[in-house]
Amino acid sequence: MGPRKFGQKKSANAVPSSRIAQAVAPQAAPTSDRIAQAVSSKHATPRALRGTAYREASVVFESGYSLRCIVLDYSKTGVRLRFPTNEVLPPRVIVKAGAVGVSGPARVVWQHNSEVGLELL
C-alpha cells in the first residue's frame, strides 16, 4: 500500500509509524545509577546565593580598554554580564560594578553571544 493521496481518508486498520510508536512508548524508570550520574559530585556543594540586578557596570582589559555592560546577576563568587554587542573578552579582566558592590579582578568562565560569566578573584 503506497502513500495516500491528498483528500483520501486513512484506513481504519492503519498502523502508526514506528517513530510515533517509539515516541509514545513508556520510558523506563530512572535507576539509582542514572540518578547518581545526573547529580554529580561537582554540584554537591550549593551555589552561592545570587542577587538579580539590572545595573550599569564596566569591564577593563589589561590594556586599559574599557567596555560598558549591564549586571544581570551577581554573588560573592561571580557575576553575569550582558554587553550591547557580542564581545570576545580576554581570559582575565577587571570588573567595576559599584552599583552592586562588585569590583576587582575576574576570570572569564563562559561566554555566549553577548552574555559572559565571570568568577571574581
Confidence class of residue 51 from pLDDT cuts 50, 70 and 90? Answer: confident
Helix (H, G, I), strand (E, B) or coil at 25: coil
Q: d(Cα 64, Cα 100) in Å, to the nearest integer?
A: 22
For residue 62, being part of any structural domain is answered with: yes
CATH code of the domain covering residue 59: 2.40.10.220
Percent share of the chain, pLDDT over 70? 68
Domain count for the chain, please give it: 1
Residue 118, burial from CB neighbour count under 10 angstroms (0-12, 13-18, 19+): buried
Q: Which three cell numbers stand for residue 64?
A: 586599559
56-113 residue pLDDT tens: 999 999 999 999 999 999 998 999 999 999 989 999 999 999 989 899 999 999 999 9
* pTM for the whole structure: 0.61
Task: Find the domain containing 103 and state its range.
Answer: 51-120
Backbone angles phi, psi at 75, to 5 degrees: -150, -175
